């Protein structure tokens, strides 16, 4: 069986890789279709590390031609795809796998163009998406990205190489690119948390999109502090950071769900910068994209409204880790699904069971 992963963006890889490993272990052929329009030369080394052939395409149209030419059994997508009818018309099966379990309405709406199968993480998400698209095929499997942590394959970061102190508790700050709290943190905030290691893992777009230059300037300033490690663009996977961290700070990232599934506390930063095209009379655009009814992380952990309040919140949450335990468990069941480390195995087993159907 040949399976191709439509790698429109390089940050899809952490979701794809656990499945790729199982496919290779089961002696299946795997290829990546990588978009030159979205993935820069600097990421080529990361792609090589995946260990499978990377076929470069310019856009969705050329990707469609590649798939028709290679005739894979399945093509995996991390988002919607314009040319599904072309693929389905040639007998190619398609599978959709969200690259995150975040709160944005787009998580559900990307299924408005149905694929052969979409793999879903938690039971709550499965129920909602079935309600929205009752005629389509969905299978709950869990969240493949987290498999390496749940099955103890993820080793984490090497603190001695990073110059961090293994005796200190570790804060993971994982801001998204928009809306982002990143620019609302002071230039010298690491000195306020000198008794902690600070791991900073921004979204890939912070590094690759020109309009986020101010965010990159902030990262450069924070990286100068001895208790800080700022992820490099090639640090695609969040898993090593989550493995080592004791608490997560974020604002609207799916990382909130992922980290909570590990049984660790999260703090939601309710202070963030909204780009100008979402402000004032254009605020409706923000509501449309993020949705009032889709702020699913409302009760996942402590919310803070300013950086100053964060100063007290972090030590209090680390002292009272059990405070949101039941809520974390509920969120995990609803949004992340089984935590047995076998999501990727379930996905591959499903593919193998449909080869001749």
pTM of the predicted protein model: 0.89
Other residues' Cβ atoms within 10 Å of the Cβ of residue 323: 14
- CATH superfamily, domain 2-150+340-353, is Glycogen Phosphorylase B; (3.40.50.2000)
Asked, colleague to colleague, whether 2-150+340-353 and 159-336 share their fold, the answer is: yes
**Mind listing the pLDDT tens digit for each residue in 112-133?**
678 999 999 999 999 999 999 9
Residues 6+ apart with CB under 8 A from 58: 35, 36, 37
CB-based contact 7:34 (threshold 8 Å): yes
Question: How confident is residue 294, by pLDDT bands cut at 50, 70 and 90?
Answer: very low
CA distance 170 to 25: 35
- B/e letters for 40-53, b = 16+ CB within 10 Å, e = fewer, are eeebeebbeebebe
Question: How confident is residue 40, by pLDDT bands cut at 50, 70 and 90?
Answer: confident
**Mind listing the pLDDT tens digit for each residue in 189-226?**
999 999 999 999 988 777 777 777 888 899 999 999 99
- B/e letters for 229-263, b = 16+ CB within 10 Å, e = fewer, are bbbeeebbbbbbbbbbbbbbbbbbbbbbbbbbbbe
- CATH superfamily, domain 159-336, is CDP-glycerol glycerophosphotransferase, C-terminal domain (3.40.50.12580)
**Mind listing the pLDDT tens digit for each residue in 252-281?**
778 899 999 999 999 999 887 665 455 555
Strand-by-strand arrangement of the 302-304 sheet = 228-230, 197-200, 170-173, 247-250, 266-269, 302-304
Torsion sign, CA atoms 52, 57, 63, 68:
negative
Tell me what pLDDT residue 338 has. Answer: 96
Torsion (CA) 153, 142, 76, 103 in degrees, nearest 10: -110
**Tokens at 312, concatenated:** 């007290």
Break the chain into its structural domains and give their ranges.
Answer: 2-150+340-353, 159-336
- Where does the chain have alpha helices with state H? 13-25, 44-49, 60-70, 84-89, 106-109, 123-132, 147-150, 159-162, 204-208, 213-222, 239-244, 255-260, 283-290, 307-319, 325-331, 343-353
Q: What does the DSSP 8-state code read for residue 232?
A: P
Question: How confident is residue 297, by pLDDT bands cut at 50, 70 and 90?
Answer: low
């Amino acid at each position: 069986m040949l399976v191709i992963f439509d790698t429109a963006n390089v940050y899809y890889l952490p979701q794809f890789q656990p499945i790729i490993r199982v496919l290779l272990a089961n002696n299946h052929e795997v290829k990546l279709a990588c978009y030159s329009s979205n993935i820069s030369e600097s990421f080529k080394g990361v792609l090589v590390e995946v260990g499978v052939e990377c076929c470069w395409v310019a856009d969705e149209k050329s990707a469609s031609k590649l798939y028709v030419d290679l005739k894979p059994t399945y093509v995996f997508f991390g988002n919607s795809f314009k040319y599904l009818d072309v693929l389905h018309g040639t007998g190619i099966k398609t599978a959709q796998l969200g690259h995150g379990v975040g709160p944005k309405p787009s998580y559900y709406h990307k299924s408005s163009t149905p694929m052969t199968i979409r793999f879903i993480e938690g039971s709550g998400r499965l129920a909602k998406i079935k309600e929205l698209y009752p005629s389509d095929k969905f299978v709950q499997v869990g969240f493949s990205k987290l498999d390496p942590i749940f099955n103890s394959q993820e080793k984490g970061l090497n603190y001695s190489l990073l110059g961090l102190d293994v005796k200190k508790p570790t804060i993971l700050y994982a801001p998204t690119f928009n809306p982002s709290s990143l620019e609302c943190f002071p230039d010298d905030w690491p000195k306020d948390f000198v008794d902690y290691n600070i791991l900073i893992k921004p979204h890939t777009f912070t590094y690759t999109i020109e309009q986020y230059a101010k965010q990159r300037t902030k990262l450069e300033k924070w990286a100068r502090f001895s208790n800080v490690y700022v992820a490099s663009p090639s640090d695609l996977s969040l898993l090593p950071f989550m493995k080592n961290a004791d608490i997560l700070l974020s604002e609207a990232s799916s990382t909130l769900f992922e980290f909570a599934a590990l049984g660790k506390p999260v703090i939601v930063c309710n202070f963030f910068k909204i780009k100008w095209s979402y402000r004032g009379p254009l605020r409706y655009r923000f509501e449309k994209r993020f949705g009032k009814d889709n702020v699913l992380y409302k009760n996942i952990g402590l919310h803070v409204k300013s950086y100053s309040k964060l100063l007290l919140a972090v030590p209090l949450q680390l002292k009272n880790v059990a405070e949101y335990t039941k809520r974390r468990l509920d969120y995990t069941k609803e949004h992340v699904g089984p935590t047995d480390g076998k999501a990727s195995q379930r996905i591959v087993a499903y593919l193998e069971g449909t080869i001749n159907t």
